[in-house]
Chains A and B, each alone.
Chain A
Amino acid sequence: MPELSYRDAIRSTLIEEMDRDPAVVLLGEDIGQYQGTFRITADLLNRYGSRRVIDTPISELGFVGAAIGMAMLGLRPVVEMMTWNFSLLAYDQIVNNAAKIRYFSGGQVNVPLVIRGPNGAGVQLSAQHSQSLEAIYAHVPGLVVAMPATPTEAKGLLRTALRGNDPVIYMEHAALYSLKEEVPDGEFMMPFGVAEIARPGRDVTIVAYSRMLHIALEAAEILAEDGIEAEVLNPRTLRPLDRQTLVASVGRTHRAVVVQEQWRPFGTAAELAAAITEGAFDLLDAPVERVTGADVPMPYARNLELLALPHAEDIVRAARRTLYRETAETGGRADG
Chain B
Amino acid sequence: MADRATRTSSNEGVAAGSVATTDRTGIDLTDAVAWYRQMVIGRRFEEETERAFRRGKIGGYLHVYSGQEAVAAGFLAELRADDIFFTAYRDHAHALFRGSPPGAVMAELLGKATGVARGKGGSMHLFDVSRGFYGGYGIVGGHIPLAVGAAYALRYKGGDQVCLCFLGDGAMNSGGFHEPMNMAGLWGREGLCPLVVIVENNQFAMGTPVSQSSAVPNLAARFSAYDIPAERVDGMDFLAVRDVARRVITQVRAGGRPQAVEALTYRFAGHGAADVFQPYRTKDEVETARARDPLAILEARLREAGLLDDARVASIGEEADEMAREAMRFAEESPPPPPEDLYKDVYGNGA
Interface residues of A (CB under 8 A from B): 25, 50-51, 56-57, 59-75, 77, 92-93, 96-97, 101-112, 141-142, 144, 164-166, 192-193, 240
Contacts and interface: CB of A to CB of B under 8 A. Distances in A.
B347 interface: yes
B13 interface: no
A102 B150 contact: no
B127 A105 contact: yes
B180 A59 contact: yes
A68 B345 contact: no
Nearest to A141: B346
Contacts of A193: 351
Contacts of B130: 108
B182 to A, nearest CB: 6
Contacts of B151: 69
B2 to A, nearest CB: 13
A75 B120 contact: no
Contact of B347 (A60, A74, A104, A142): A142
A104 B125 contact: yes
7 contacts: A62-B179, A63-B145, A92-B142, A96-B142, A102-B347, A106-B117, A165-B349
Nearest to A65: B145
B159 to A, nearest CB: 10
Contacts of B153: 69-70, 72-75
Contact of B183 (A62, A93, A164, A166): A62
Interface centre among A69, A75, A110 (most CB of B within 10 A): A69
Given A59-B180, A68-B149, A69-B150, A105 B347 contact: no
Contacts of A97: 137, 142-143, 146
Contacts of B138: 96
A66 B145 contact: yes
B154 A64 contact: no
Contacts of A65: 142, 144-146, 148-149, 176, 179-180
Contacts of B129: 105, 108-109
B135 A51 contact: no
Contacts of B86: 69
A71 B345 CA distance: 16
Contacts of B150: 69-70, 72-73
B314 interface: no
Nearest to A57: B182
A67 B179 CA distance: 13
Given A97-B137, A103-B120, A108-B127, A51 B192 contact: yes
Nearest to A68: B146
B256 to A, nearest CB: 12
B116 A106 contact: yes
B180 A106 contact: no
Nearest to A142: B346
B115 interface: yes
B160 to A, nearest CB: 14
Contacts of A66: 145-146, 148-149, 152, 180, 183
- The 3 A-B residue pairs whose C-beta atoms are closest, nearest first, are A65-B145, A69-B149, A62-B179
Interface string B131-174: 00011011100111111111111101100000000000000000
B145 A166 contact: no
Contacts of B116: 106
Contacts of A144: 347
A96 B86 CA distance: 15
Given A66-B146, A103-B346, A105-B127, 11 more contacts: A50-B190, A72-B146, A74-B153, A75-B156, A105-B117, A106-B127, A106-B345, A110-B348, A112-B348, A164-B348, A192-B349
B346 A105 contact: no
B270 interface: no
B118 interface: yes
A192 B183 CA distance: 33
B127 A62 contact: no
Interface centre among A73, A74, A107 (most CB of B within 10 A): A73
B183 A107 contact: no
Nearest to B124: A104
B316 interface: no
A69 B182 CA distance: 16
A123 B233 CA distance: 55
B99 to A, nearest CB: 15
Interface centre among B130, B142, B344 (most CB of A within 10 A): B142
A182 to B, nearest CB: 29
B186 interface: yes
Contacts of A69: 86, 134, 145-153
B217 interface: no
B175 interface: yes
B121 interface: yes
